[in-house]
Structure 1
């Protein structure tokens, strides 16, 4: 169903669809060989490995646009592929916890963007539905918080092909000006 159809749904239909989408998304994510969470600037991945695995048993490759985790001597990787966005390799790390899971911390290159997935061939999440951790937002001072909220709004608007907050302000200003000057022809006015 296209996004513009979504706008025509009733509140109940939207909630039902959102719930179905969330359940499908959760099922797709649960089927992945890892779990992950993100903040605007970073992605953390937990990859379960056989109990008793040692660091030297692992083959972990973290590159600008590539990630793979495998066990040495085994042809099949636990996960391998192209990252959905570029990362800062020098600030990204991995370590083994309790000899049963690999914790991977990726520092995003673009720290203003939500990721739809970790690897490009894996199912996507709907980034418009991401609720940033409020505690994190509320930790920010008013000005920074406003800026982050504006960026998140603009990012969502762009993804939906709708005007950003600055474009909305310009359109609003033009409307007011038009209302004050009905004698002028604005049919060729461009907003830039």
Structure 2
């Protein structure tokens, strides 16, 4: 039986190999992200970047440029901490940056808040060219899903369902809906020929 066979059940060895592969991928991803001069986190709607800076630096010593598609964060006269093009646009008016004092470790950091223009997209990285994370592996915590308003939550759940279906080679919820509608229509109109009907 070939592994392309949909009836194929992976053997324990295949499952173990996949687990090892996944652990290696995750370890590589963590190592790559740790090399960056900044840390970043995101949820479906926004993204936050922090970078440590020397304690003697004041706001006026910073050069922070945020446009719809680009970012540049640097201490004036020094190499940028982060510079490049976003993978997706941001809402500039809703995005901001601050200098914050950190307790652990004691020091300062520049904190950049980016509001995503597309509230339904996970970003693989902050700027193009930086190491990517595998966005298909992002699992929003259930608690944060329940915090979303009904409509947003349904969209996120639909996206997660569609993503899983795609990975398994199944139909997305939209395709499934079209198929169900077509079946219902066929049942209501047995006199019509649907043999050449296309879904999609």
| TM-score, normalised relative to structure 1 | 0.81
- Picking from 42, 45, 48, the partner of 1:38 is 42
Instruction: Name the residue aligned to 1:96.
Output: 99
- Picking from 174, 178, 188, the partner of 1:166 is 174
Per the TM alignment, residue 147 of structure 1 is displaced from its structure 2 partner at its CA by 3.2
Instruction: Name the residue aligned to 2:59.
Output: 55
Instruction: Name the residue aligned to 2:104.
Output: none
- Helix, strand or coil: the match of 1:100? strand
Q: Cα–Cα, structure 1 residues 54 and 118, in superposed 2: closer, same or farther, change >3 Å?
A: same
**How many positions carry a matched residue from both structures?**
187
User: How many Å separate the matches in 1 of 2:135 and 2:48?
Assistant: 16
Per the TM alignment, residue 135 of structure 1 is displaced from its structure 2 partner at its CA by 1.4
Residue 135 of structure 2 corresponds to residue 123 of structure 1: no
Instruction: Name the residue aligned to 2:28.
Output: 24
Residue 87 of structure 2 corresponds to residue 84 of structure 1: yes
User: How many Å separate the matches in 1 of 2:149 and 2:62?
Assistant: 42
Per the TM alignment, residue 13 of structure 1 is displaced from its structure 2 partner at its CA by 2.2
- Picking from 148, 154, 159, the partner of 1:151 is 159
Larger Rg: 2
In structure 2, list runs of 5 or more residues that go unmatched.
102-106
In structure 1, list runs of 5 or more residues that go unmatched.
none
- Picking from 126, 137, 141, the partner of 1:133 is 141
User: How many Å separate the matches in 2 of 1:162 and 1:115?
Assistant: 24
Give CA deviations for 1:100-146 in whole Å, capped at 9, x if unaligned. Answer: 21000000000011001100010111111101132111224666533
- Range with greater deviation from structure 2 (154-163 or 104-113): 154-163
- Range with greater deviation from structure 2 (128-137 or 63-72): 128-137
